[in-house]
Copies of this chain bind each other. A is one copy, B any other.
Amino acid sequence: MSQAFYIEQTPPAKRTDCHQSDPAAIIKQLYDSETFRLLAQVVVGRLSDHLEQVQSRNGKVMTARPPRLNLLDARAWLDAATAATPSDARTLADRAGTMIDDLLANSQRLHHPGYIGHQLAPPLPLAAVFELAAALVNQGMAIYELGPWTTAVEKAMVERLGEQLGFVPGSFSGLVTSGGTLANLTALIAARNKLLGDAWSQGLTGLETKPVVITHMESHYSIARAAGIIGLGAEQCLYVASDAAGRTDPQALADLLDDLKRRAVPVIAVVASAGATRTGSFDPLPAIADLCEHHGIWLHVDAAHGGAVSFSKAHRHLIEGIERADSVIWDAHKMLFVPTLSTYLFYKNPRNKYLAFSQDAPFLFVEDSDDAHEFDCGLATAECTKRAAALSLWAVMSLYGGSVYETLIDRICEITALFVAKLAAIEQVEMPVEPQFNIVLFRYVPERPDIDVDAYNKALRAFIVEDGSLYLTTTTYRGALYLRFVVMNPLSNETEVEALIEALTTFAARHDGDGDAAFAAERTGQSHLKV
Contacts and interface: CB of A to CB of B under 8 A. Distances in A.
Interface string A283-295: 0000000000000
Interface string A33-51: 1111101110111111101
A148 B78 CA distance: 17
Interface stretch (A150-158, A499-507, A513-521): A150-158
30 contacts: A30-B490, A33-B55, A34-B48, A41-B41, A41-B44, A44-B44, A47-B136, A71-B156, A73-B152, A74-B152, A80-B398, A86-B400, A100-B133, A103-B149, A128-B135, A178-B179, A179-B384, A182-B383, A185-B382, A202-B233, A202-B235, A203-B233, A204-B204, A205-B207, A205-B211, A206-B208, A228-B358, A340-B385, A364-B531, A372-B527
Interface string A233-259: 111100000000000000000000000
B35 A125 contact: yes
Nearest to A331: B385
A370 B206 CA distance: 41
Contact of A108 (B16, B148, B392): B148
Given A278-B363, A407-B26, A145 B399 contact: no
Contacts of A123: 135-136, 138
A7 interface: no
B224 A359 contact: yes
Given A55-B33, A205-B204, A138 B110 contact: yes
- Residues of A contacting B: mostly: helix
A75 B156 contact: yes
A474 B385 contact: no
A230 B484 CA distance: 34
Contacts of A235: 201-202
A510 interface: no
B133 A43 contact: yes
A339 B135 contact: yes
B125 A146 contact: no
A222 B364 CA distance: 13
A176 interface: no
Nearest to A72: B152
A97 to B, nearest CB: 10
Identical copies in the complex: 2
B476 A106 contact: no
B201 A64 contact: no
A221 to B, nearest CB: 4
A216 interface: no
Contacts of A362: 278, 475-476
Contact of A51 (B33, B102, B152, B527): B33
Nearest to A304: B385
A419 interface: no
Given A27-B408, A48-B34, A152 B67 contact: yes
B527 A370 contact: yes
B149 A102 contact: yes
Contacts of A402: 81
Nearest to A493: B24
A107 interface: yes
A365 interface: yes
Interface stretch (A114-122, A318-326, A429-437, A443-451): A114-122
Contacts of A19: 403, 406-407, 410
Given A78-B397, A201-B233, 13 more contacts: A19-B403, A26-B407, A36-B44, A37-B44, A64-B144, A77-B394, A81-B400, A103-B133, A103-B150, A120-B140, A123-B136, A203-B204, A366-B475
A236 to B, nearest CB: 6
B357 A228 contact: yes
A8 interface: no
Contacts of A143: 530-531
A177 B178 CA distance: 10
A205 B179 contact: no
B65 A48 contact: no
